[in-house]
Amino acid sequence: MKYRIEHDSMGEVEVAADRYWGAQTERSRQNFRIGVGREPMPQEIVYAFGILKKAAALANFELCPDRMTEEKCNWICKTCDEITEGKLWEHFPLVVWQTGSGTQSNMNANEVIANRANELAGKRLLHPNDDVNMSQSSNDTFPSAMHIAAVLELRDRVIPAVDGLIQTFLRLEEENADAIKSGRTHLQDATPIRFSQEISGWRSSLEKDKKMLLSSLEELRELALGGTAVGTGLNAPRGFDRLVAEKIAALCGAEFRTAENKFHALTSKDELVFAHGALKALAADLWKIANDVRWLASGPRCGLGEITVPENEPGSSIMPGKVNPTQCEALTMVAVQVMGNDTAVGLAASQGNFELNVFLPVCAYNFLQSARLLADAMNSFREHCASGIRANREKMRQNLNDSLMLVTALNPYVGYENAAKIAKLAYTEHLTLREACLRLGLLTAEQFDAILRPEDMT
């Protein structure tokens, strides 16, 4: 392999000749061989850095054209476009487990942009620190990249996946408005419910989760950029913070604004904690929905069997013909991971000391993994399970007619205690509710038939 010599303030370093990163990236690559190949810095963060560095160059060009010349700005922007187009992913080799401020990933972006832009320009035009990192510090760029990545992931992936599942449940509600089944509380028989009503509970949960996600987006729109090293804005021109936020908003097609208090923005990660709380709420509801689906589909003969789900793959290596609710299992495993990630995000956010939080990469890694997994799992569950849910109406009727809790409708006519006597007699003597009621002489057959109508109980 061919190498070139790069240098930084600590001296010279050999770097592979076909890579655009420089000395500081190479030092990190050599010093942090932790999870290499398994836990790289998320591509969403790399993408956000491409947006951020372009916006910074554009803002610097407007505010300091003597230092950020039009030529320099143009080459930085062209290289940043290559990053956001995914053309330079292989030049971002660093892992999550590095410096807690993300300094080395910020420098990775600076070095790649400078070296690639110099190659495009055909001359040594740009310096990674003086030009690409102009008016910035790792301490305000990495938190800003985290917020950019979080907003875009929620806007472009998570919320559309929630909407897709909501629409599927709306269709299922319409299709099952006339399907009446036994309700269940404490895993025991309860009063009747329409299957469409049960599905509406799933849908409403997701609609509320969406509202919480949208609410969390508002706080994530604040950016630390312009605070530089400790929040004072040292070495950034006046107005840079607001202008760079405007540039980022224009590039992303999403609202972003400068954080009014940069001392908070650099050290506190409460916005990510809040947003991940919304992801955890979504995970909790998806877990509940997936559990409902697999319980209702249990069987096919020895379980509830009130719905069927698509048969996607064989379910056993030894039991022929077995089919399992695998999409439900995948979704619930994702929910477990998200809940674990929530602990990691909360603990990472609690570790701000004085003017900086130094748990940023692990916070970003877990947040983005949660968002990515939830979006993918919802899309998979919708496509391969929820869209194919079918009511087994015969089994629903059978279970409904066998339910002793239909007796609840008799309470206003015979009283709670007499209704309990009917249910207990029916259960112990293997009678229908009608037969038990008539045996106890509490109602006539005509009265019983007029009162106990499941379709009127929903």
CATH of the domain at 267: 1.20.200.10
pLDDT in tens, 27-69: 999 999 999 889 999 999 999 999 999 999 999 999 999 999 9
8 Å CB contact between 19 and 28: no
Question: Does residue 188 surpass a pLDDT of 90?
Answer: yes
From 107, 134, 161, give the residue that closes a domain: 134
Q: What is the arithmetic mean of pLDDT over 3-9?
A: 94
Degrees, nearest 5: CA angle 143-275-102: 20
- Which residues 6+ apart lie within 8 Å of 93 measured at CB? 19, 21, 25, 29, 40, 108
Res 36: pLDDT: 87
Res 390: pLDDT: 98
> Which region, left, alpha or beta, applies to residue 405 given φ > 0 means left and ψ of -120 to 50 means alpha?
alpha
Distance CA 315, CA 428 (A): 38
Q: What is the arithmetic mean of pLDDT over 406-418?
A: 96
| 14 domain-assigned | yes
The domain tally of the chain equals: 3
Residues 368 and 265 in one domain: yes
Residues 168 and 87 in one domain: no
Find residue 184's DSSP bridge partners: 189
Distance CA 376, CA 383 (A): 11
Q: What is the arithmetic mean of pLDDT over 363-371?
A: 98
Res 1: pLDDT: 87
Distance CA 138, CA 116 (A): 20
Residues 305 and 323 in one domain: yes
Distance CA 40, CA 176 (A): 46
Number of C-beta neighbours around residue 427 at 10 A: 12
Residues 185 and 306 in one domain: yes
8 Å CB contact between 220 and 150: yes
From 340, 375, 394, give the residue that closes a domain: 394
Residues 222 and 291 in one domain: yes
CA distance readout (Å), 71 to 58, 112, 127, 235, 420: 11, 18, 13, 22, 86
Place of tokens 């992931």: 153
8 Å CB contact between 181 and 398: no
pLDDT in tens, 106-122: 999 999 999 999 999 99
Residues 95 and 20 in one domain: yes
Domain that holds residue 372: 140-235+255-394
CA distance readout (Å), 283 to 72, 294, 335, 377: 46, 16, 5, 10
CA distance readout (Å), 8 to 12, 24, 114, 120, 429: 7, 7, 14, 22, 88
Distance CA 147, CA 271 (A): 9
CATH of the domain at 418: 1.10.40.30
What is the pLDDT of the chain when averaged over all its residues? 97
Model pTM score:
0.96
- Which residues 6+ apart lie within 8 Å of 336 measured at CB? none
Residues 281 and 168 in one domain: yes
Residues 71 and 162 in one domain: no
In our burial notation (b when 16+ CB lie closer than 10 A, e otherwise), range 38-54 reads eebbbebbbbbbbbbbb
Question: Does residue 180 surpass a pLDDT of 90?
Answer: yes
pLDDT category, 217, cuts 50, 70, 90? very high
Active site residues: 186, 316
